[in-house]
Amino acid sequence: MNLAPFAPADLFHLAPLLVVLGGALVTMLMAAFARGRDASFIGGFALAFFAAAIWLDLRALASPVPVPESVAAMLTPDAFSALADIVIYAGGALCVMMAGGYFRTHQLVRGEFFSLMLFSAAGMSLMAMAADLLVLIIGLELASLSLYVMAAFSRTTRASPEAGLKYFVTGAFASAFLVFGAGLLYGFAVSSPAGEGMAGSPLNIGILAIQIRNAAAVGAVTPILAAGLGMVLVGMAFKLGMVPFHMWVPDVYQGAPTPATAFMAAGMKAAAAAALVKILLVAFGKDMLFGTGGWWTLLAVLAVLTMSVGNLVALAQNNIKRMLAYSSIAHTGYLMLGLLAAAWVGPGTEAGIEAAVAVGYYVAAYMLMNVTAFAVVSYFETPRGGNLLISDYAGLSRQHPGLMLILAVGLFSLAGMPPTAGFFAKFYVFKAAIDAKLYWLAVAGVLNSLVSFYYYLRVLIYAYMHEPIPAAPREAPTALLKISLGFSSLAILWYGLFPTSVLSAARNAFAFLASIKGWE
């Protein structure tokens, strides 16, 4: 493998990632020296590092520059990864603002949580900008290992360590599939005649795409190639919570501290979706998706099952975090509609790029509405998992009208009610399916979206139409929580009323798909 010489100036292309990694190391040292004292101030430093990284990514998204060959062999810090980074880092910043008051109430103020969140965000960023399966695996493990500890962070409760253990076991299982699949793809790449004379890493996604296309063109698709691609897909499906690889989601979401739940739901979905764009639309190619193995049909069936199982099981949930967990599963299915539509019409076509843009908009909107809902839940949750039943929200609109209004914005957006960002997110992915003439997928999505209104509105019916339950007085929300809730709820409404800013940024990010050929 021959790599271009690396110059120190090339590191500037990785500045946002380096800022977050540096912040993780700095906050880790601060947490070590703050042992035994109030470490809540470390959250302010984590917030500053996230803000600096977002600013750098905004500049990269507004004025993209060519990526040097020394970096492009393994990483692609381009407009696409910058958009994914902004979603991940913004979600992290909002969760940091949520965490301060939550941890004080639950007596969990330990600074290492913020360091873990920064490390996890850095891993998610690596997943989004990975140009090589090896880098994707490293990023996935960095993100996952941090999330395992974050899920088990509340050691005084039984549910949190149990959630961390379940996440670790199922996550290790998923990682094993991904690594084994990458190993099989490496074996295919170095042994296939389709790759003879090609320079670069055998696991580079662009090189793999050429080799897979060449092998499919001459009918040389081997069982090793098919098994490798299948295992990589299984690993990513675990991380996205797709059916039938979703069983860990409700237990982990319920047991983990709520700020950790919000971050793993929003951040990991964005990172895994970005990685799946490259795997499905770049590496697989038309012949593998629609020819040998029928991968597209299988993924379409799984997308419908994911939407349906998530929504139908959410109907029966009485715990609001479990309800939001099954909601997250359903949203993975909606997200897949955009990717499937882009693959159906060809990602390099105008319709394919618009379908991918819909996915980008959906990921950004989901981050905002998901974090908004979990932030309100985090305020009302009491130590040892109290106040998490939907019935516990009875009459809260009279006691906390502002917070219930913000929760209504988040839940209406998750349901797809206009004029929120969630409405346009679903509208664009359903439109992409209709434009691709995938009417059955669009109908499945619309019907599932209608089902979801029941369990989202159920929470608001309790809050607005039931008598309040006597409860101990709560402290007022912290200033940072108010800022987080105000920003996320206003952003939901702003991007619902004026979606063009996010759409234009997404079109800039997905412009690289225009170079993909061979789908005609």
Q: Global pTM?
A: 0.92
Provide the token pair at 255. Answer: 């047991």
Please report the pLDDT score of residue 42 as a whole number.
86
Q: Is the pLDDT of residue 233 over 60?
A: yes
Q: How far from each other are the two terminal CA atoms of the chain, in whole angstroms?
A: 32
Of the listed ranges 1-5, 171-175, 296-300, the one predicted with least confidence: 1-5
* Helix (H/G/I), strand (E/B), else coil: 204: strand
**Tokens 């029928």 map to which residue?**
294
- Supply the mean pLDDT for the chain: 85
If pLDDT is split at 50, 70 and 90, which confidence band does 346 have?
confident
Please report the pLDDT score of residue 3 as a whole number.
55
Name the DSSP class of 390: G
**Tokens 């412009």 map to which residue?**
511
Q: Is the pLDDT of residue 169 over 80?
A: yes
Provide the token pair at 153. Answer: 């962070």
259-293 residue pLDDT tens: 999 999 989 999 999 998 888 888 776 666 666 55
Name the DSSP class of 315: T
Greater model confidence, 210 or 375:
375
Q: Is the pLDDT of residue 200 over 70?
A: no
If pLDDT is split at 50, 70 and 90, which confidence band does 344 have?
confident
If pLDDT is split at 50, 70 and 90, which confidence band does 220 have?
low
Please report the pLDDT score of residue 149 as a whole number.
92
439-454 residue pLDDT tens: 999 999 999 999 999 9
> Are the C-beta atoms of 339 and 276 separated by less than 8 Å?
yes
Q: Is the pLDDT of residue 87 over 70?
A: yes
CA 507 to chain centre: 19
Q: Which of 259, 436, 236, 435 is nearest to 332 (CA)?
A: 236
Distances (CA, A) of 442 to 32, 276, 299, 334: 52, 21, 15, 9
3-class SS string, 234-299: HHHHHHHCCCCCCCHHHHHHHHCCHHHHHHHHHHHHHHHHHHHHHHHHHHHHHHHHHCCCCHHHHH
Name the DSSP class of 63: S
Q: At what angle do helices 159-191 and 248-255 cross, to 10 degrees?
A: 140
Q: Is the pLDDT of residue 4 over 80?
A: no
17-45 residue pLDDT tens: 999 999 999 999 988 887 756 667 888 89
Q: Is the pLDDT of residue 327 over 60?
A: yes
Q: Is the pLDDT of residue 216 over 90?
A: no
In this prediction, residues 320-329 reach a mean pLDDT of: 94
If pLDDT is split at 50, 70 and 90, which confidence band does 415 have?
very high
**Tokens 């402290």 map to which residue?**
475
